[in-house]
Amino acid sequence: PQKPFQTKLVLLGEAAVGKSSVVLRFVQNDFQENKEPTIGAAFLTQKCRLEDRLIKFEIWDTAGQERFHSLAPMYYRNAQASAVIYDVTKASSFEKAKSWVKELQRQANPNIVIALVGNKIDLLGRTESVEESTAQGEEDDETATATPEAGASSSLRAVPKDEAEAYAKESGLLFFETSAKTGEGVVEVFTEIAKKIPID
């Protein structure tokens, strides 16, 4: 049997962007609507099998609150990978993500693999498809196109995808958009990080 290659990964980002939810989706394929805030940090592990290797992620899920900021270096020191998460419906969380990226690029392992992750894209689904469909002409019943399904909440995108993607590219980061709620894109984040981890 193949020996797993251990990889320390740290999750960073503003409080409530969905760090713990993304990990819960990756590790247990589960989602909780009202997840309790993380205190300090949580530790989880998950294996990820690629064609040529088995990676065991040792994941440090940090608390996003400012009062825990001074603890962060303890978690990203010696980390081979980091996922910096923001909420696509909240512009301030993208600014915070950029400041985490800067801090990692200054202070973390120079070879660290960083992924920038825009989470909560499920909140946009309805709105963005409405924008697209109105361009193609009127539907028979205008309320049917403009009103979200009963019980579904929708929000406006606050962080344009092309802007985030361009920033990621110029900063040498992997880039993803995800929904911890539906699971969209979550496995890809970890698989693509795993592919970039140098093993010798």
**Under 8 Å CB-to-CB from 130, ≥6 apart: which residues?**
145, 146
Among ligand GDP, Mg ion, none, residue 17 binds (CB under 5-8 Å by kind): ligand GDP
Binding to Mg ion (CB under 5 A): which residues in 24-63? 38
Does position 7 interact with Mg ion (CB under 5 A)? The reply is no
User: What is the contact surface with ligand GDP in residues (CB under 6 A)?
Assistant: 13, 15-21, 32-35, 37-38, 64, 119-120, 122-123, 179-181
Does position 20 interact with Mg ion (CB under 5 A)? The reply is yes
Closest CB 187 distance from ligand GDP, rounded Å: 14
Does position 119 interact with Mg ion (CB under 5 A)? The reply is no
- Considering beta carbons, is residue 54 or 128 the nearer one to ligand GDP? 128
Among Mg ion, ligand GDP, none, residue 21 binds (CB under 5-8 Å by kind): ligand GDP
